Amino acid sequence: MAIIGGGIGGSTAGCALAQAGLEVSLHEAAPELKEIGAGVALHPNAMRVLRMVGVEDAVRRVAGHSEYSATRNWRTGRVISKISRSEQAATFGLSGATVHRADLLDVIAAALPPGSVTLGTRCTSVRSHEDVAVARLEDGREIEADVIIGADGIHSRVRAELFGPDDPRFTGKICYRSVVPTDAVRGARPSTDNTQWLGPHGTVVLYPLRGEELINVVCHYDDEHYRHESWVNECDRREVLDRYAGWHESLLRIFEAGNTWYKWALYDRDPIPKWTKERVTVLGDAAHPMLPYLGQGACQAIEDGAVLARALSTERDDPVAGLARYERTRRPRASSVVLAARERGLSNHLSSPIAAWRRDLTIALRRRLGKDREGRGAAWIPEYDATAPDVLAS
CA distance linking residue 155 with residue 171, whole number of Å? 17
Is residue 189 pLDDT above 90, yes or no? yes
Which tens digit of pLDDT belongs to each residue from 317-340?
999 999 999 999 999 999 999 999
CB 102 within 8 A of CB 109: no
Query: DSSP code of 64?
Result: B
Residue 176 pLDDT: 97
Which amino acid type is present at position 19? Q
What average pLDDT does range 130-136 have in this prediction?
A: 93
Asked, for residue 37, whether it belongs to a domain, the answer is yes
Residue 373 pLDDT: 82
Instruction: Report the CATH number that the domain containing residue 124 is assigned in CATH.
Output: 3.50.50.60
Is residue 35 pLDDT above 80, yes or no? no
Asked, for residue 107, whether it belongs to a domain, the answer is yes
Which tens digit of pLDDT belongs to each residue from 247-306?
999 999 999 999 999 999 999 889 999 999 999 999 999 999 999 999 999 999 999 999
CA distance linking residue 56 with residue 387, whole number of Å? 14
Residue 178 pLDDT: 96
Residue 371 pLDDT: 65
Asked, for residue 74, whether it belongs to a domain, the answer is no
Is residue 36 pLDDT above 80, yes or no? no
Asked, for residue 261, whether it belongs to a domain, the answer is no
Regarding pTM above 0.85, the answer is: yes
Q: How many domains does the chain have?
A: 1
Asked, for residue 209, whether it belongs to a domain, the answer is no
Which tens digit of pLDDT belongs to each residue from 209-221?
999 999 999 999 9
Residue 81 backbone dihedrals phi, psi, to 5 degrees: -155, 160
Asked, for residue 317, whether it belongs to a domain, the answer is yes
CB 184 within 8 A of CB 60: no
CB 118 within 8 A of CB 128: no
Which tens digit of pLDDT belongs to each residue from 53-73?
999 999 999 999 999 999 999
Radius of gyration of the chain (CA): 21
Residue 34 pLDDT: 76
Residue 172 pLDDT: 95
CB 41 within 8 A of CB 295: yes
Query: What stretch of H or E contains 302?
Result: helix 297-314
Residue 262 annotated as catalytic:
no
CB 256 within 8 A of CB 237: yes
Asked, for residue 206, whether it belongs to a domain, the answer is no
Catalytic site residue from 207, 221, 244, 326: 207
Within 8 A by CB and 6+ apart from 34, the residues are 102, 105
Asked, for residue 106, whether it belongs to a domain, the answer is yes
Using the CB atoms, write b or e for 9-26: b if 16+ within 10 Å.
Answer: bbbbbbbbbbbbebebbb
CA atoms within 13 A on the CB side of 262: 19
Q: Residue 289 sits in which domain range?
A: 2-66+95-167+270-347
